[in-house]
Chains A and B, each alone.
Chain A
Amino acid sequence: MTTSFIHPALILICGALLLPCIKEPFRKLYLCSVPLLTFLDVIYLNWHPGVHGVVLFMGDWTLTFGRVDNLSMIFGFIMALMAIIGTVYGLHVRDNWQHIAAWFYVAGSLGVIYSGDYLVLFLFWEIMAFASTFLIWFNTDKGALAAGYRYLLVHTFGGVLLLLGFVLRYQATGDLSFVQLDEQSTQLFTWLIMAGLMLNAAVPPLHSWLPDAYSKATVTGAVFMCAFTTKTAVYTLARAFAGFDILIVLGVVMAIYGIVYAMMENDIRKLLGWEIVSQVGYMVAGVGIGTALAINGTCAHAFAHILYKGLLFMAAGAVIHSTGKSKFTELGGLYRKMPNTLFFMVIGGISVSAFPFFSGFVSKSMIITASFESHFMVTGFLLTLVSIGTFLVAGLRLPYLIFFGEDRCSIETHAKATDPPWNMHMAMAAAAFLCLLIGSYLPFLYTMLPNPEVTYHPYGAYHLSETLQILAFSALAFIFLKAKLGAKASISLDLDWFYRMAGRGFLWLAQNPIQWIDTAWGSAYRVVGLYSLMVTAKFWSWFDWHAIDGVVDGSARCVQAFGRRVTVVLQKGHIQQTIYFSVTFAAVLLISYVCL
């Protein structure tokens, strides 16, 4: 191990462990400085690419903690950056445990990104899953506890798939290194590893956990969650499954699926969760296309996505933080009360919708262009269709239903609605600035992309005209069709129905037939078992008393009676007689000894 290598995750973990010892007035400063230090460490690592932190483990295995290459650099950078923004956003939270969970979660993500083998990957993978579960459990709202359990169970299942996959691979090849897998000779382990990674990327049919969990997390927890799990999974897919054609199909299905559900959704954060599913669909498709441009597009889009989705979650969180409401049916017309939040949400919305000069414009189009250039025409058109849906949903429907249109707020909600504390403002402003920076100053993002030899120019006249047509006519369609996208008090059934119902079925099974059998068994035992036991016990008690005790007592009485007889005959109290018996006995013994 090189001495200069300090794992960024280690800084966060140590920082989290020390946090309870830090008191005000230094606490806020400390909260900011730990992720900042992590970020500086990541930048330092990016200057020193190579393989660091190689440890020999139990003789046979080499663990690689620090593989710093083109792909891990950009992901490490954005994750550490988002950790700063997320922590600043949650600066007002007094509960140290929430910060600790969030930092462990980010540490898990960074650990996965820099890991070079499956053992290290799995260790950090599970840290991520467990730490993030607490970000849901810390929410005291109704349903958060159950959602946390569902999240944990689903991720444990995913972890087991991954574990099975890489253990089988180790058995077959003796190799634990986390590298690109071969599409030509796929084995069972290839699919198991892929399924394990895809679960975290929320690829259908393994996606339902995402909107379910993210809508139930704490306000600040959701800001962390929206960034790390899925994008870390995208990184792992890009690392191991670049060019797997099946991912193109799944990515497109995912993008469409997410946007359709987002159109029906009533909960703000669930809508944003569906948006994540949809946007990660682009990245998964990009990984599936697998060309240098597509991988660049995937990384660029993940980078941009973390910032604008973080911004949208922060703005949505600000609404929930101040009003306590998260449903469109309980919000509306709030622009006068929360103008700054509106501003930031719109910046996030136009970034995700790929407005020129904002981040989505320079990242999303790269994947679409890559699909056209690789002659996946249908993919290209479908992804463009989804980007139209994205503008409808995140750019128009979301701000419209919260801040404009019909006012569906109660009087209390209206009274409570106000722009959030300064720290939330700062975090949102930073994210908004970065969205603008990425879209306007291309080298900032493009120099970090893993395949620098590929050039891409988003600001061509044709791309601009295409985007402007899309935006203008989506807005036009929205104006005429917005009634169809209105707020409706409902939830949308999804594939989680199956495991929720299976869970409920299991509970029913436990509460009814299994409970009945248990009760019946208890009664039968009481009636048959206990009665027969008592009868047997009584018999043995009688037997013990009369037979055993009779024999024992009888022999004791015999010995006693015999002893008494002996006493009567031999010990009459006459000393000469006693001496006579003793001497005779001694003489007999002596004679016997001599004779024999």
Chain B
Amino acid sequence: MIVKFIDYLQERLQTVKVLSAIAIAIMLVWTIVGVDTSHAHTWMEAHIPGFWALFTLLACFVLIFFAKWFGNSGIMTREDYYDD
């Protein structure tokens, strides 16, 4: 059943993408228009529309590229490093 469901989605990948994009757009509109941000903890949250969306994108970039840079700086090494 699970396999069939995944295959069903994969066959209609374009539709899934469009629906996801629409869902995200609706969510964003709701976030900006419909959610009361007056009780947010910081000024940024209350006044920047879609603050957490921006924060998330920034965080993803920072985390992924930092991990990449950090790994390549010599932290990531060959698997048999401790064996010889």
Question: Chain B residues with Cβ under 8 A from A474's Cβ?
Answer: 56, 60
Whether the Cβ atoms of A389 and B63 lie closer than 8 Å is yes
- Summed over the interface, the residue pairs from A and B with CB atoms below 8 Å come to a total of 127
- Shortest A224–chain B CB gap in Å is 26
In this complex, the interface size class of chain A, counting residues with CB under 8 Å from chain B, is: 35 or more
Residues of chain B in range 39-62 having any CB-CB distance to chain A below 8 Å: 39-42, 45, 50, 52-53, 55-57, 59-62
Question: Chain B residues with Cβ under 8 A from A478's Cβ?
Answer: 60
- Shortest A381–chain B CB gap in Å is 8
A465 at the interface (CB under 8 A from B): yes
A29 at the interface (CB under 8 A from B): no
Question: Chain A residues with Cβ under 8 A from B79's Cβ?
Answer: 266, 489-491
B23 closest partner in A (C-beta): A472
- Shortest B75–chain A CB gap in Å is 5
- A residues with a Cβ closer than 8 A to B are 259-260, 263-264, 266, 335-336, 339-340, 342-343, 369, 372-373, 377, 380-381, 384-385, 388-389, 392, 461-462, 465-466, 468-470, 472-474, 476-478, 481, 484-485, 488-494, 500
Whether the Cβ atoms of B42 and A476 lie closer than 8 Å is no
Question: Chain B residues with Cβ under 8 A from A259's Cβ?
Answer: 63
- B residues with a Cβ closer than 8 A to A are 1-3, 6, 23-24, 27-28, 30-31, 34-37, 39-42, 45, 50, 52-53, 55-57, 59-68, 70-71, 74-79, 81-82
Please judge, given known A-B contacts A469-B52, A470-B56, whether A492 and B37 are in contact too, CB under 8 Å: no
Q: How many Å lie between the Cα of A377 and that of B35 in the bound state?
A: 22
Q: Which of B34, B42, B63, B64 has the most CB of A within 10 A?
A: B63
Whether the Cβ atoms of A491 and B67 lie closer than 8 Å is no
Give chain A's interface secondary structure class: helix
Question: Chain A residues with Cβ under 8 A from B3's Cβ?
Answer: 335-336, 339
Choose from B2, B34, B60 the contact partner of A473 (Cβ within 8 Å): B60
Whether the Cβ atoms of B55 and A384 lie closer than 8 Å is yes
Choose from B41, B61, B70, B71 the contact partner of A373 (Cβ within 8 Å): B41
Question: Chain A residues with Cβ under 8 A from B42's Cβ?
Answer: 372, 377
Q: How many Å lie between the Cα of A461 and that of B30 in the bound state?
A: 10
Please judge, given known A-B contacts A263-B67, A469-B50, whether A462 and B60 are in contact too, CB under 8 Å: no
A504 closest partner in B (C-beta): B82
Whether the Cβ atoms of A260 and B67 lie closer than 8 Å is yes
Whether the Cβ atoms of B64 and A339 lie closer than 8 Å is no
Question: Chain B residues with Cβ under 8 A from A469's Cβ?
Answer: 27-28, 31, 50, 52-53, 56
Choose from B41, B67, B77, B78 the contact partner of A380 (Cβ within 8 Å): B41
Q: How many Å lie between the Cα of A481 and that of B67 in the bound state?
A: 12
